[in-house]
Amino acid sequence: MPKHQLAEALLDKIRTRTVRSGVIGLGYVGLPLAVEFARAGYATTGFDLDATKVQTIEDGRSYIDDVSTADVADFRKRGLLRATTDFDVLRDIDTVNICVPTPLRKTKDPDLSYIVSAAEEIALRLHPGMLIILESTTYPGTTDELVLPILERSGLKAGKDFFLAFSPERIDPSNPTFGTHNVPKVVGGMTDACSSLARELYGAAIAQVVMVSSPRVAEMVKLLENTFRAVNIGLVNELALMCDRMGIDVWEVVKAAATKPFGFMPFYPGPGLGGHCIPVDPFYLSWKARQSGFEARFIELAGAVNGAMPHYVVSLVSDALNSIRLPLRGSKILVAGVAYKRDVDDIRESPALDLLTLLQERGAELSYSDPHVRMLPARHWQGGVDMKHVDLATVPSGTYDCIVVVTDHSKFDYAAIQRSGKVVVDTRNAIKEPGPNVVRLGAPRVATTPALV
């Protein structure tokens, strides 16, 4: 079939809602996208190697807070959503979105093994007229330098026999205002036909589609967005360190600066960066820049500042314990919040994991509390032990020598945190009425010395 006929045939399937869509990777990005495709009327199949996730969806239940079980059950009942571990089902799929993880290696180089595996699975079942869209965050050039050659091993050619595009995911877990449906979708295709088909596919499921000229532009868009945040967080983290030396409350400074109606956007300091995107994406960009002979010094400096924040928090903990004449070694320390951001259960790249490791190396006796993360398996941090969530409501006053607020969950009882810890280190300005036993990151120390307990 000529290429224009292949494109027209797929376009007709999309518009008549007879298209069979597939999503590889059913995590925080893939499952919400699959649900939106199902909501748009596409018969959607999710692919994942995790049999537990697949079975949960097949049973009509959700395992992600941003996706309701009611929606999953409804779309399963109507035959619009299914999940499988069998990649041979791709032979019957018209469109495939790749939503797999793209972590960093320990050397801070991109690990694209999940993308490569997904592309190879598709290549084995690639058929004329198929549309493939990569959504995983990666460096500019991944779509045409890595994914395209793998797919074309099949003998089919992009833009002629099949269609290929990149569209960066822009998920913000637990955001009550912006989700998959109403966050504009940036799309860049290998050819005009690739772009047009991708735009049509998303158009029924996403409120706004923004077209760019190529996959490389779309890839760079995502890296710019998250590097912008990482650099500005690095700036305010450095300002917090500066304010600490100068006896100025950085939180008061940012709050006042934010009253300016133009030319300023507030960012806030913290114990370090977390989540899959913001700690990772700038390194993807600087790595690719080095391949082109360019040194991204500004970006890497921000990364160094942010990466050092857990070490600074350890120094705050040590100082707070010294104020009540206790050493760090042997002290009972509880970390409040191990998820990377408030009110989510995602611990990927959480600064709490680095902080726990640093405190353990210094001989502290560790516990943690997080209403969203009931178990912290040993494999998720370098401490080598499994840990269980501690319910602070059941803890007597003064149980812990120090409590460190790392994640400002709305479910936390901050009054109970102050009661349970002899001293408290607040890295998020979460405690709105701090007592004399509270030390805040980036704020002057309270003059009153806590009584010895």
Q: 23 and 69 in one domain?
A: yes
The whole domain housing 378 covers 227-453
pLDDT of 452 higher than 60 = no
Give the mean model confidence (pLDDT) for residues 371-394: 92
Q: 433 and 403 in one domain?
A: yes
Cα–Cα distance for residue pair 393/410, rounded to 1 Å: 15
Burial track 66-89 (b if 16+ CB lie within 10 A, e otherwise)? bbeeebbbbbbeeebbbbbeebee
111 DSSP β-pair partners: none
Cα–Cα distance for residue pair 278/43, rounded to 1 Å: 33
| pTM of the complete model | 0.90
Q: 275 and 193 in one domain?
A: no
| Neighbour tally for 91: CB within 10 Å | 11
Q: 195 and 247 in one domain?
A: no
| Neighbour tally for 310: CB within 10 Å | 21
Helix (H/G/I), strand (E/B), else coil: 438 = strand
Categorize the per-residue pLDDT at 453 as very low, low, confident or very high, splitting at 50, 70 and 90. Answer: very low
Query: Do the domain assignments include residue 220?
Result: no
Crossing angle of helices 309-322 and 351-361, in 10° steps, is: 50
The predicted structure's pLDDT at residue 1: 60
Strand residues in 226-297 grouped as ranges (E): none
Q: 231 and 170 in one domain?
A: no
End-to-end CA gap in the chain: 81
The predicted structure's pLDDT at residue 2: 60
- Any idea what DSSP says for residue 396? P
Give the mean model confidence (pLDDT) for residues 342-367: 94
Q: 17 and 154 in one domain?
A: yes
Q: Has 194 been annotated as catalytic?
A: no
The predicted structure's pLDDT at residue 446: 64
Instruction: From 213, 239, 257, give the residue that closes a domain.
Output: 213
CA distances in angstroms from 302 to 156, 183, 234, 268, 293, listed in the order given: 43, 27, 5, 14, 20
**What digits encode the pLDDT tens for the residues 215-238?**
999 999 999 999 999 999 999 999
Backbone dihedral region for residue 272 (phi beyond 0: left; psi -120 to 50: alpha; all else: beta): left
The pLDDT > 70 percentage for the chain reads: 98
pLDDT of 428 higher than 70 = yes
The DSSP H or E segment spanning 98 is strand 95-98
Q: 326 and 269 in one domain?
A: yes
Query: Catalytic pick from 99, 194, 243, 277?
Result: 277
Q: 32 and 111 in one domain?
A: yes
- For the ranges 11-25, 104-118, 160-174, the lowest mean pLDDT is seen at 104-118
pLDDT of 413 higher than 90 = yes
The predicted structure's pLDDT at residue 103: 86
Cα–Cα distance for residue pair 187/216, rounded to 1 Å: 10
Instruction: From 143, 178, 213, give the residue that closes a domain.
Output: 213
Query: Which CATH number fits the domain that encloses residue 27?
Result: 3.40.50.720
Cα–Cα distance for residue pair 429/342, rounded to 1 Å: 13
Q: 193 and 305 in one domain?
A: no
Cα–Cα distance for residue pair 143/211, rounded to 1 Å: 16
**What digits encode the pLDDT tens for the residues 19-43?**
999 999 999 999 999 999 999 999 9
Q: Which two tokens stand for residue 135?
A: 């959504």
Contact between residue 280 and residue 137 where contact means Cβ atoms under 8 Å apart: yes
Query: Do the domain assignments include residue 63?
Result: yes
Number of domains in the chain: 2
Query: Do the domain assignments include residue 222?
Result: no
The predicted structure's pLDDT at residue 3: 60
Query: Do the domain assignments include residue 154?
Result: yes
- Any idea what DSSP says for residue 143? I
Contact between residue 404 and residue 390 where contact means Cβ atoms under 8 Å apart: no
Q: Pick the more confident residue, 292 or 260.
A: 260
Query: Do the domain assignments include residue 195?
Result: yes
What is the average pLDDT value for the chain, to the nearest integer? Answer: 94
